[in-house]
Amino acid sequence: MKNMNDIFKSMRESINPDDNVKEKLYRKIERGEIPMNKPAPKILKWLPLMTAACMLIVATAVFLPMFGALREQLPPEGGNIDYLNEPNFTGAVVSVYENGGILIKTEAGNPYPDSTLITSSVIAGDEFFVGDIVTVYYDGMLMESYPVQIRTPHAIELISRDRRHGDYYADEWVFDAYETHYLNTPDWAETFVWTNGQVSAVYGNDEQFLFSTNGIIGGIFVADLTGDGKIDFIYLYFDGSYEYIMLYDYVNDTSYSIMNIKDTYRLSLDNGKIMVNETTVLSFMGGRLVTAVTEEEVPPPNSEPVISEPMYFVERNENAASEEFYPEIFLYPEGFFTFNVNLWEGLSKVHGTYERVENAYVFTVTYRDFAGFTGDDVEEFKMHLMLGADALVYEGAQIGMTEDGAVFYMSEMPSVSYLHKFIMALPSGDSDSVAVVHDTRVMERYEAAKLAELTVDIVNLLDGNVMYMSSSWLDPWADLYGGRKLESINQIDIIYMYKGDGGAVFQVIAHCEFDIDDGRNEVGIEYTIVDIGGGGATGNLEWQVLDIYFVK
Amino acid sequence: MSLTQKTFVPYTETTENAREIVEKYQQMVYGLALSRAGNKFDADDIFQEVFLIYFSKDRAFREDEHKKAWLIKTTLNCCKRALGSTWRKKTTSFDDRPELSYSFTSKEENEVFAALRELPEKYRTVLHLFYFEDFPTEKIARILGISGANVRMRLKRGRDLMREKLKGEYEI
């Protein structure tokens, strides 16, 4: 029986590159040649491809119609460059096609006045990237189409590559954050050291702390996602319950949570974009991690979370009987909130307004529909942002089962049927004689135009007009002011009406500020409808007006 | 200076000592490239690319081991780039061309190398780093970014596969 260890040892001693390979290397180093992602083209390497190109002529025939009919090879009209004697040109890749081929934008007039060329068939979809600078060596044969085409390039040499997005440097990095790892990249001179749950950059004798982690890190990528010319870290972070995609911006020394996810995902780089993939099938192609499973591009982070649509946060409170009884809070873009609280004996609601104060939201309670339970005297509370606003930490007096320090996680908005448009008659602003007159169209989420109509209607109603049909009556509104022309509506705060699965609960806060020729006017109403009795278009509502104001 | 305090002396390389650096690490880089690529043609290219990247910037390393780890990681990345492209998968391998395959001096070495070449990549890399570079499993784990347990599992499976391919003629 032969001993493989001994054989390995003897193999190790004899493995060395040939001297001529080393000499070539030394010459390149001495000449200061820029390293490229692949070696300079060798005709030998391209020979089989050229043969393959002939075999793929059928595929080419399918590909070509995208860019115009192939006609006999002709010099382009007006072209006065003798390109038959200039069988190469340099340009930038502007498109890469999955079925082979790249579109190259060349310097004006070289070799074709229109300056755009495409090669076909022989190039795999992942050999080149948009932005690459390449030199194409070919036989001088151009196929006239738009854009003109080269079918059989001798070689395509990668001259330089925009490394903005870098490459991935890990494929199976799921490790304990408390081990020490070195992250070295060809693109940046710093060495990044990951030890004891923190990441530092080392350059010479200097060591700079960057960020710390307290969970499991996986799928780390380094890239310049923010486009500032410096390295960023993009990594998966697992806090024991949820995974997050985090981005650390080196220049601004800031961490963002780009996305929170609930299952096992991986990051990958695809054509210069960071992708998040649900991982079942992973493979490497062209030095990049790809997957057969559907993938989604990770959006660049916002430096400041901007609420452009309602946000929904859930407290996964173990005291709740089941998920449907979890306390939850809705934040609407215009500064209103609805807090569904759990009082143990049932769910109830808190409404009001909120504003962003530094790294927290401050909530002012304007309405609650319960009394005699814990929290019925709460006037204000706070929610601190954590993990880049993907979660909120509650600070304030206990409300139902929600205690100080409770964490609310951002979640997908629940499916609810809303918004109904209710027109209410408020004769002379007298809250004692209000009548509900109409229930009209269903709105899809937040349709500003319809809401504006509704506000205008309310303006009418506040002025004593009882309308029996909702409308976008601007004329009657103008009539209210003696036929004077409406100059502009400066501001309409959106009205919210929420209808949950277990019945309808609405909160309406309307505010309209507008200009008529005699100056600024404002009107507003805030009311809550807490129940619906009966049905049909004129169902009975139990409602409560919180505030009505009219300023002229 | 206390005994526990570390002093980091950055290594800075220039083209003047390029030959010295290449000579020192050529076996490690070329061996790994050959192990991953399985043929001399690609190993030559990868070998050159790794050192060109190395000398493309002034690099600072904490210690010699750190530099070795960088070279290995970069070699692996270059291998992935060079060997993972669709272009490559769609074309005929050069491996079978006799002038491009690597030849060892003894029959046993060639047999073992042939068996090693046929192993899946993940086992091949771990076996190479363990047997050719004498790296402990924890260090391999750090380099590859996987757990030590995973490295040991790959070693075991790699050895089993080697035994199977060599039909039990070798002890490992």
Residues A349 and A373 sit within 8 Å (Cβ to Cβ) = no
pLDDT at A341 over 80: yes
The sign of the CA dihedral B83, B84, B86, B91 is positive
Which chain A residue has the Cα nearest residue B19?
A26
* Secondary element (H or E) of residue A408: strand A407-411
pLDDT at A241 over 70: no
Are A287 and B77 in contact (CB < 8 Å)? yes
Name chain B contacts of A222, Cβ cutoff 8 Å: none
According to DSSP, residue A361 is labeled: E
Residue entry with tokens 């979809």: A125
Helix (H, G, I), strand (E, B) or coil at A383: strand
* Of B60, B80, B141, Cβ closest to residue A204: B60
Angle, CA A336 vertex, CA A331 and CA A337 arms, to 5°:
50
Res B155: pLDDT: 80
pLDDT at A265 over 80: no
Residues A151 and A53 sit within 8 Å (Cβ to Cβ) = yes
Q: Name which of B5, B7, B44, B95 to mutate to probe chain A: the one with the most chain A Cβ atoms within 10 A of its Cβ.
A: B44
A205 Cβ contact partners less than 8 Å away, ≥ 6 residues apart: B8, B10
Residue entry with tokens 């570390």: B6
Residue numbers of A between 78 and 137 with CB closer than 8 Å to B: 123-127
Name chain B contacts of A123, Cβ cutoff 8 Å: 87
Q: What is the pLDDT of residues A140-161, one digit of tens each?
A: 777 766 667 776 666 666 666 5
Name chain A contacts of B162, Cβ cutoff 8 Å: 4
Q: CB distance from A485 to chain B under 8 Å?
A: no
Q: Name which of A3, A9, A29 to mutate to probe chain B: the one with the most chain B Cβ atoms within 10 A of its Cβ.
A: A29
pLDDT classification of A229: cutoffs 50, 70, 90: low
Q: What is the rounded distance in angstroms from the CA atom of residue A90 to the CA atom of residue A83?
A: 13
Distance between A27 CA and the closest CA of chain B, angstroms: 10
Q: CB distance from A1 to chain B under 8 Å?
A: yes
A392 Cβ contact partners less than 8 Å away, ≥ 6 residues apart: A313, A329, A361, A383, A384, A385, A386, A407, A408, A410
Are B52 and A39 in contact (CB < 8 Å)? no
Question: Strand pairing partners for A236?
Answer: A218, A245
Are B61 and A191 in contact (CB < 8 Å)? yes
Which chain A residue has the Cα nearest residue B32?
A15
Pairing of strands A282-285, A347-357: unpaired
Are B81 and A18 in contact (CB < 8 Å)? no
Angle, CA A299 vertex, CA A298 and CA A304 arms, to 5°:
135
pLDDT at A70 over 60: no
SS (H, E, C) A434-487: CEEEEEEEECCCCCHHHHHHHHHHHHHHHCCCCCCCCCCCHHHHHHHCCCCCEE
Q: Which residue has the higher pLDDT, A378 or B16?
A: A378
pLDDT classification of A87: cutoffs 50, 70, 90: low
- The Cβ-side half-sphere exposure at A130, using a 13 Å CA radius, reads 10
A vs B: CB pairs below 8 A: 182
- The Cβ-side half-sphere exposure at A165, using a 13 Å CA radius, reads 14
pLDDT classification of A402: cutoffs 50, 70, 90: very high
Res A363: pLDDT: 93
Res A199: pLDDT: 75
Res B139: pLDDT: 78
Cis peptide bond prior to A427, omega within 30° of 0? no
- Measured between its terminal Cα atoms, the distance across chain A in Å is 103
Q: CB distance from A30 to chain B under 8 Å?
A: yes
pTM for the full predicted model: 0.33
